[in-house]
Amino acid sequence: MSPQEIFKGQTDVGAAPPSRKTQPFYWSVRRELWENRSIYIAPLAVAALVLVGLLIGASHLPPDMIRKIARLEPERQAQALSIPFGIAAGAIMVTALIVGVFYSLGALQSERRDRSILFWKSLPVSDITTVMSKAFVPLVILPMVALGVMLAALLVIIIISAILLPVNGLPPTLLLSSFPVGRVIVELTYVLVVFALWHAPIWGWLMLVSGWARRASFLWAFGPPLALVVFEKLAFNTGYLWSLIHYRVAGAFGEAFTSTVATGARHADLPQMDPLKFMFTPGLWLGLLAAALLFAAVVWQRRYRSPI
């Protein structure tokens, strides 16, 4: 064995094992989940409360009403049987929206209030990584949590229906046979993605206020826009600002879905997904541009903020 091979072997033996790469963004997101457990506890609690209420209400339904539902046309039957899930899904989505608002308003203010910002700034984590991990929660984590809770609620409703329907002399698979579960899952995913993209500038604005306000971030976030709406109405008798705010808060559904009304005696069809219309909507891209500017301002602001 040559001297070079001997020294090479000694070098390989004595060499330290390669260090694992750190994942600051991953651990920053984990930190947000550890510190804000309401992100997943609140939707679960609301879903459980709604399901218990639906179960109690279903136990009081007269058998004749259930048999009438079984004799309906397949389309109307699916609509009637989907009402409990629609109530549960709506409650979960509203809860996720409320959690996102309060999380965003406290995302940067809380670390300044308890002075933990001094500790987090001492770590080798950039302000961009920190802000993006906080923005990741309302943009991605909350929609994923809401989707998971809604699917769990759907499973519970299917199990309950399989137990209650045979008691009234109906087949246990009536809900599954008339309720398009696969299509509902696709539509729920589509709706959550649409609202996450559409509301991105709202989360940016709330986090900007959270990093700037010393206290009462809720009032600073909603007070000035409402005051400007009232001022515009009183001074110019117009409502352009209110229309803009309403469009940003609730306009996603009209841009992402298209409604068609059937002819004849049949009922109006349910709104249909229209992703191409949504992707080519100017309001979407203008909102994403505004969100990018707002989040950039949040990053710049955090760089110079100090404890309260």
In angstroms, the CA 68 to CA 77 distance is 9
User: What is the tens place of the pLDDT at every residue in 210-239?
Assistant: 988 888 899 999 999 999 999 999 999 999
- The answer, yes or no, to whether residue 9 has pLDDT greater than 60, is no
Q: Are 153 and 88 in contact (CB under 8 A)?
A: yes
In angstroms, the CA 151 to CA 147 distance is 6
User: What is the tens place of the pLDDT at every residue in 186-199?
Assistant: 989 999 999 999 99
Count CA within 13 A, CB hemisphere, residue 282: 0
Assigned token pair, 280: 């080519």
With a CB cutoff of 8 Å and minimum separation 6, the contacts of 52 are none
Confidence category of residue 120, pLDDT binned at 50, 70, 90: confident
pLDDT average, residue stretch 110-119: 81
pLDDT at 54: 80
- The DSSP letter of residue 260 is -
Element (H, E) at 273: strand 272-273
Tokens 């000035």 sit on residue: 224
With a CB cutoff of 8 Å and minimum separation 6, the contacts of 47 are 88, 91, 92, 149, 150, 152, 153
Percent of the chain with pLDDT strictly greater than 70: 78
Confidence category of residue 203, pLDDT binned at 50, 70, 90: very high
In angstroms, the CA 189 to CA 144 distance is 9
Please state the domain extents for the chain: 24-304
Kindly list the distances between the CA atom of residue 249 and the CA atoms of 245, 294, 295, in Å, as whole numbers in the listed order.
6, 17, 18
Give SS3 for 266.
coil
Residue 231 CB coordination number (10 Å)? 11
User: What is the tens place of the pLDDT at every residue in 241-287?
Assistant: 999 999 999 999 889 988 644 433 333 345 688 899 999 999 999 99
Confidence category of residue 109, pLDDT binned at 50, 70, 90: confident
Write down the mean pLDDT value for the chain. 82
Which residue, 179, 187, 184, 181, is CA-closest to 256?
187
Q: Output 143 or 5, whichever has higher pLDDT.
A: 143
Q: Which residues pair with 272 in a beta bridge?
A: 258
Confidence category of residue 67, pLDDT binned at 50, 70, 90: low
Alpha helices in the chain (DSSP H): 3-14, 24-35, 38-59, 63-70, 74-81, 83-106, 109-113, 117-122, 127-136, 142-167, 174-178, 181-198, 200-212, 217-236, 240-250, 252-256, 275-279, 282-304
Q: Are 43 and 95 in contact (CB under 8 A)?
A: yes
pLDDT at 116: 81
Amino acid letter, residue 132: M
